[in-house]
Amino acid sequence: MTGRLHDKVAVVCGAGQTPGTTIGNGRATALLFAREGAEVLAVDRDEKSLLETCALISESGGTARPLVADITDPSDCAAIARTALDAFGRIDVLHNNIGIGAGDAGALDVTEDAWDRIQSVNLRAPWTVCRQIIPHMRERRTGAIINVSSIAAVCSAPLVAYKVSKAGLNALTHALAMENASFGIRANTIMPGFIDTPMAIEGMASKLGMNQDELRAARDRMVPLNQRQGTAWDVAHAALFLASDEAAFITGALLPVDGGQSARIG
Ligand SMILES: NC(=O)c1ccc[n+]([C@@H]2O[C@H](COP(=O)([O-])OP(=O)(O)OC[C@H]3O[C@@H](n4cnc5c(N)ncnc54)[C@H](O)[C@@H]3O)[C@@H](O)[C@H]2O)c1
């Protein structure tokens, strides 16, 4: 441990993960934040997975509190801020990792229900959490917000509701960065490309009726850098940098973590 988040309190929304053989982006980030000295409020609606994340943090000597919450419920979002403040006394970092894509389709085929569900989880919910936590950060005149978007926001993508939600999240990041700059609060976005997480592999393979190894190989081939997908640790290390004081002069950035996938569009 090098203590890059020493003395910081971090809220990680989506700290559980879809079951699978690899590690998810939110769990890896929660583990890395704790390893670097942060006290972590770990939030997820999946209690079993959330408790696994917290147990992993405890086993490695870190500090984590679990909070089971549905991010689409405004009263649960209020509970996130309240619980973090009750448990740790302040909030320095808010990491919005939660994102879904199930049920998505092309613009003419996606159902209204799927559209609303995806916008609600991927865009409305992080906005709601921010509105609960930013007043506290403003009082302390410090804070770092990290939103996990996707390169789908800026690249051609066949799943329209997901793409639009993530493009909206990028725009929200810009708005948050500008509205809160004079309060010393930074807001940045990570745009992952193909990352080898359970949601992307186990989830998509069963949806597409594909073998997992074939899906992995197909995704690997589409990444310019070494023809290999990233791992959740690549996303977690970008989040660690943006959460830390090393990024003190960085706000409003949209950072691709994608092995060069988005560089194709210039
Ligand atoms: N894996 C990739 O290739 C990839 C690529 C681009 C972007 N992303 C983004 O990275 C993020 C995490 O992806 P992942 O693959 O690690 O997913 P994951 O499924 O492993 O993690 C997401 C977590 O969010 C939780 N969650 C979902 N809905 C919730 C709700 N309403 N309330 C509370 N918790 C809820 C789930 O229980 C899960 O633990 C997402 O925002 C995703 O869009 C992933």
Average pLDDT, the chain: 97
- Mean pLDDT is lowest, of 1-5, 126-130, 190-194, for 1-5
Q: Looking at the predicted structure, is the pLDDT value of residue 1 above 70?
A: no
**DSSP string over 23-82:** --HHHHHHHHHHHTT-EEEEEES-HHHHHHHHHHHHHTT-EEEEEE--TT-HHHHHHHHH
Nearest by Cα to 191 from 137, 155, 227: 155
Entry pTM = 0.98
Predicted confidence band at 206 (pLDDT cuts at 50, 70, 90)?
A: confident
Identity of the amino acid at 196: D
pLDDT value, residue 264: 87
Among protein residues, the one with the nearest Cα to ligand 1's atom 40 is 99
User: Is 71's C-beta closer than 6 angstroms to any atom of ligand 1?
Assistant: yes
User: Is 198's C-beta closer than 6 angstroms to any atom of ligand 1?
Assistant: yes
* For residues 128-141, average pLDDT: 98
| Ligand 1, atom nearest to 219 Cα | 3
Tell me the CA–centroid distance for residue 44 and ligand 1, in Å. 10
Helices (H) and strands (E) in the chain, counts: 9, 7
User: Is 230's C-beta closer than 6 angstroms to any atom of ligand 1?
Assistant: no
Out of 162, 173, 193, 254, the active site residue is: 162
Contact (Cβ atoms closer than 8 angstroms) between residue 155 and residue 265: yes
* For residues 158-187, average pLDDT: 98
Strand pairing report for 93-96 and 254-257: unpaired
Evaluated on CA atoms 214, 103, 154, 183, the torsion sign reads negative
Predicted confidence band at 207 (pLDDT cuts at 50, 70, 90)?
A: confident
Catalytic residue list contains 162: yes
Q: Could you report the per-residue pLDDT of 182-198, keeping only the tens digit for each?
A: 999 999 999 999 999 99
